[in-house]
Homo-oligomer: A and B are copies of this chain.
Amino acid sequence: MNRPAFRNWQTVQEEVLRRIHAREWKPGDLIPNEADLAEEFGCARATVNRALRTVAESGLLDRRRKAGTRVALQPVAKATIDISLIRQEIEARGQKYGYQLISRSLQEPPAQISGALQVPTTRMLHLSALHLANDAPYAVEDRWINTATVPTALSETFDTISGNEWLLANAPYTHGEIAFSAAAATKEEARLLGCPLHAAVFVIDRLTWDHAASVTKVRLIFAPGHQLRTTL
C-alpha cells in the first residue's frame, strides 16, 4: 500500500475538504483526533492542527477541546468583503476616478448622528461629496467627523481629497461597524447621482472608533445598479 504523502498543511487541508465534500465525513460526524490523523497522514500533529484550524475558521468544522472535531451540521458560509478606498475600487476597474466636494460645514448633528457617535451635541464637521467613475456619478459620500477625536480635520478643506482617504491616512481606528442596505434615493441624492427620485440605491453605513472614542460616521449612497460582489 502506497500511502500518499500529506507532508504539508495545505495538502492535509485539501484532503480534509475532500472527505467533507465527498461525505466520507458527514455533517455532525466526529472526525478522528489530531494524533490519529497525523499518524494516518504521516506528518506531525502540528501540521494537522494547522490544517484543521484553517478549515474550522472557514466554518466547515466545529472544534472543542476534549469534545473533539466534528463536521459542522449547518456550515455557515463566510463571505469576506474587502472594503477599500472608493478611488482604488474605481481605479482597479481601469476607470478614471473623480472627486467633487459638495459641501463642508461645521454644524450640530441631528440626534440620530450624535447618538450613534456618542458625543454630546456639539458642533461636528459635516462633509458631502461625490465620487465619479469615468466622469459618471458613482457614489455620494455623506460624512460626520467627530472633531473631538480628530481635531486636525478642522484645518483640512477636503476639496481635493475625500474624507474617506484623508481619514484613513490621518485618523486610525481600532474597530467599527458596517451595515449594508437598500434605500430610495432622496431628492438631493437623485440630483447628484443623476437618477430618478426614489430610485433604489445601495447604501453602506459605516461607523468607526478609536478605542472608546468615535471617529466618523459615513453613509455611502451608490448609483443605481451598483453591486458588491465576493466569493464564498
Which residues of A approach B to under 8 Å, CB–CB? 17, 20-21, 23, 27, 59, 74-85, 88, 168-169, 172-184, 198-203, 206, 208, 210, 222, 224-232
Please report the C-alpha to C-alpha distance between residue A169 and residue B74 in the assembled complex, in whole angstroms: 8
Please name 9 further chain A to chain B contacts, defined as beta carbons within 8 Å, in addition to the given A76-B84, A182-B226, A183-B200, sorted by A numbering.
A20-B172, A23-B172, A74-B168, A79-B83, A175-B231, A178-B229, A179-B230, A184-B199, A200-B201
Please report the C-alpha to C-alpha distance between residue A175 and residue B180 in the assembled complex, in whole angstroms: 23
A–B pairs, 16, beta carbons within 8 Å: A21-B172, A21-B174, A77-B82, A78-B81, A79-B178, A83-B232, A177-B230, A177-B231, A178-B231, A181-B202, A181-B225, A182-B182, A182-B200, A182-B201, A182-B224, A183-B200
Please report the C-alpha to C-alpha distance between residue A178 and residue B232 in the assembled complex, in whole angstroms: 7
When the two chains form the complex, which single residue of B21, B172, B177 contacts A232, counting CB atoms closer than 8 Å? Answer: B177
